Amino acid sequence: MRFIIFIFSFFLLVSAAKAQDPHFSQFFASPLTLNPAYTGKISGMWRLAANHRDQWPSIPKAYVTTTASFDFPAFRKVLSQRGDVLGIGLMALTDASGNSALELNYGSLAVSYHKALDAEGYNTLGAGFQGSYNSLNLDLSKLQFEDQLGPNGFTNPTGEALGPGQNLNRSYFDINAGLLFSGSSNGENNYYAGVSMYHINRPRVSLQDQNWYLTGRVTLHAGGTFMIGENLSLSTSALHQAQNKATETLFGGALGVMAASANENPATIYLGSWYRVSDALIPYIGLEIAGLRLGASYDVNASSLKAATNSRGGMEVSLIYVKPPPDPTGIPCPKF
């Protein structure tokens, strides 16, 4: 019986790992997990981004994902004269499932190039590539089975104890790529559309001798930010992605209200919501000041899982800081 349950649990954990990537409701605040072509496409000297998501908090540590990235436009003074951008970026991600029984950790290096389509550099078309080194680990000591349940709780039967260090591991290299169009009609607003594909090389992710391969993830996304009043803006974005037999569609937006201030860096408060089709409503609040933007969202589960999760989907926070340039060019770049 124990062997059967082990195989079933193992299958569920590894199937989750190979069926769908970690994802964020605030996909617009995690640029390098969305599209490698975002690398270095900023109105500044460099960008630091960080995200943290705790999904289904009613199930302790069911899925916890954290990522951090750093990217910048290289040779900025030379390339900006013709509106082009060469971007370089680094990213790290950790994703833990089942109270950290299954962990995915990876680090990546990305590069992109954006070519100006007009003399002002308002409209650009770019391509990006990303290589990642991944480590997948299953800690057997954190799995519990039916025949371990006794009158005093869970115990390990004599001779069958699962102790620290009894792990299954797999390391692999991953290749991702994407295209991004970014434009503006007046130098103040911005709009964009992109497509990306992750796991182009379909790396083998089996933890034992099976031939299980990571299915490619294709993502389509678009959005923009538009001034609709003197101190009022509207930011919208949408995403559709597919991996294996799993699909995800999100859309929504937020109003930005800029505080009336003589300060050259007035604060902007964002209020809005996104919707993941057939799954969750995602209220969002954000604060931006002097290149720093903080965001918080909460998934309100509206799917058939709401009974088990008490309608709680996931808490998510994000941070993006863009170092302002000493010589602003006025070329708008995607923000959401």
- CATH code for the domain of 49: 2.40.160.40
- Of 46 and 19, the structure prediction assigns the larger pLDDT to 46
Length of the chain: 336
Q: How far is CA 317 from CA 13, 24, 215, 281, in A?
A: 25, 10, 28, 16
pTM of the model: 0.84
- Token readout for 158 is 């004599």
* Alpha-carbon span 193 to 38, nearest angstrom: 11
**Residue 156 placed within a domain:** no
Is residue 296 helix, strand or coil? strand
**Residue 226 placed within a domain:** yes
Is residue 263 helix, strand or coil? coil
Asked if pLDDT for residue 6 goes beyond 70, the answer is no
pLDDT by residue (tens digit) across 58-116?
Answer: 666 678 999 999 999 999 888 887 889 999 999 999 998 877 788 999 999 999 999 99
**Residue 334 placed within a domain:** no
Using alpha carbons, select from 140, 128, 137 the residue that is nearest to residue 95.
137
* Alpha-carbon span 317 to 137, nearest angstrom: 26
What is the dihedral sign for C-alpha 16, 19, 21, 26? negative
Is residue 20 helix, strand or coil? coil
294 by Cβ neighbours in 10 Å (0-12 / 13-18 / 19+) ranks as middle
Q: Taking all residues of the chain, what is their mean pLDDT, rounded to a whole number?
A: 84
Q: How far is CA 106 from CA 68, 103, 134, 269, in A?
A: 11, 10, 4, 33
Count helices and strands in the chain by DSSP H and E runs: 4, 16
Q: Are 148 and 140 in contact (CB under 8 A)?
A: no
Count how many domains the chain has.
1
pLDDT of residue 159: 39
236 CA to centre of own chain: 17
**Residue 96 placed within a domain:** yes
Give percent of the chain above pLDDT 90: 56
**Residue 336 placed within a domain:** no
pLDDT of residue 145: 64
* Alpha-carbon span 97 to 121, nearest angstrom: 44
Domain with 75, as residue range(s), is 2-147+163-322
Q: Are 84 and 115 in contact (CB under 8 A)?
A: yes
**Residue 289 placed within a domain:** yes
φ/ψ (deg, to 5) at 133: -105, 120
**Residue 330 placed within a domain:** no
**Residue 197 placed within a domain:** yes
